[in-house]
Amino acid sequence: MGFFFKMKPLLLAILAGIVLYTGAVSEYPWTFDNDLLGGPDFWGLLNKHWRMCTMGQMQSPVNIDPSKLFYDAGLSPIAIDNNVVEAELHNTGQLPVLTINDSLILSKNINISGGPGSPYKYRLHKVIIHFGRTIDGEKGSEHTVDFVRFPAEVQLIAYNTDLYTNFTEAMTQPRGLLAIAVIVDIRDVTNTELRKLTVASQSVTYKDSKTILKKFNVHGLLPKTTNYVTYEGSLTFPGCYETVTWVIMNNPIYITKEDLQIWNDLQQTEFKQPNPVFMFPNYRPLKTLNGRLLRTNIKVKYKRMAAHSCSSNVYLDMGYQANPTRSHHKRHASDENEPNAAFSVEKLDTRADILNNMESFDYL
């Protein structure tokens, strides 16, 4: 690994030269593995249309820092149609992608309005699942909260139907996409619709395999909350277009350890082989905010906290804490991948301790 990091600048230069002078790697297979030439650090060099992956200043995913949230009273709840639709689950080799059949009549589509996407209306087109290597305890959510990464993340990606005719057009254009990120945590029962996806994933083990879900209720993937954090960002896969309004829901949905392990069976290989290449992990490293606002409709109120209380009080009230007594690792570096980033472990107080210290002080 150390040798790779020493050679990385040279590899970047070589790859850039290949792209510039021959265009030979315009179709080079990309991956989430940064140990390979097709990894996230190289995406911007693999294809001229992917330059934002390297040059962009509004890239995703990001860390949600509770101390930097800006309360915006103008953020309305998000309205999502509760329709049952037909969808296709596809193993692309890099990601499991559920594509909604949005060519049906309007009443059978899933339209999204309100929230930071206003005044436009969006139509759900894709659902993408990100996860880590569960056998090693690696967690795979793309967005983090106070640098805490969660077991998985489900992303609902919709396109602007007021301005654009289809997803392909919208993804490269201003205000083109709205992406709703749902954190997935561990519990003893799996969310019903996530369970349907998990079972369907067993039919798409190998790259380019597909299966049809005749009746799928995407609305069932949403947690029971109207609270969220939002920011302006990008797609988290090539070409990283900075056309996405992100919405990170305030509460998680749940999956069992056993069901999460099933997602780890997905492979990048096209058929059964003695040494298969698995899809996990499939999340992009964190990107810096570069001055972007983290807006929220969560109005948190606190008074003086006891000396022993956790400094990350907003994190507790934000709803991601499935077990308020567990420890979490808080990273105090601006870049998650910085080699010398320091960790400190802090014991979280119980939710009751936090609630007992609340009064009418607005956290902005």
**Residue ranges covered by each domain of the chain:** 42-301
Q: Can 164 be counted among the known catalytic residues?
A: yes
DSSP one-letter string for 150-186: -SEEEEEEEEETTT-SSHHHHTTSTT-EEEEEEEEEE
Which residues 6+ apart lie within 8 Å of 147 measured at CB? 63, 329, 330, 331, 332, 336
Nearest CA among 348, 338, 319, 326 for reference residue 145: 319
**pLDDT tens across 12-44, in order?**
444 444 443 333 334 578 999 988 889 999 999
Nearest CA among 277, 288, 264 for reference residue 336: 288
Q: What is the pLDDT of residue 101?
A: 84
Which residues 6+ apart lie within 8 Å of 23 measured at CB? none
The yes-or-no verdict on residue 352 having pLDDT over 90 is no
Q: Measuring CA to CA, how many Å separate 132 from each of 68, 69, 107, 142, 264?
A: 27, 27, 36, 10, 8
**Which structure tokens are listed for 89?**
């689950």
**pLDDT tens across 212-240, in order?**
999 999 999 999 999 999 999 999 999 99
Cβ atoms 309, 354 nearer than 8 A: yes
Round the average pLDDT of the chain to a whole number and report it.
Answer: 81
Q: What is the pLDDT of residue 14?
A: 44
Residue indicated by tokens 């693999």: 46
Tell me the mean pLDDT in the region 55-63: 98
Q: What is the pLDDT of residue 104?
A: 57
Annotate 43-66 with b (16+ C-beta within 10 A) or e (fewer): bbbbbeebebbbebebbbbbbbbb
Angstrom distance (rounded) from CA 69 to CA 178: 20
Q: How many residues are listed for the chain in this entry? A: 364
Nearest CA among 318, 250, 296, 320 for reference residue 116: 296
Confidence of residue 362 (pLDDT cuts 50, 70, 90): very low
Cβ atoms 109, 83 nearer than 8 A: yes
**pLDDT tens across 253-306, in order?**
999 999 999 999 999 999 999 999 999 999 999 999 999 999 999 987 644 444
CATH topology of domain 42-301: Carbonic Anhydrase II (3.10.200)
Nearest CA among 77, 124, 59, 82 for reference residue 227: 77
Instruction: Tell me which of 164, 241, 315, 320 is the catalytic residue.
Output: 164
Which residues 6+ apart lie within 8 Å of 124 measured at CB? 80, 100, 102, 109, 110, 111, 112, 156, 157, 158, 218
Give the pairing of strands 69-71 and 294-296.
parallel
Q: Is 157 exposed, middle or buried (0-12, 13-18, 19+ CB in 10 A)?
A: buried
**pLDDT tens across 299-346, in order?**
876 444 444 444 433 434 454 433 333 333 333 333 444 333 322 222
Nearest CA among 212, 202, 209, 211 for reference residue 268: 209
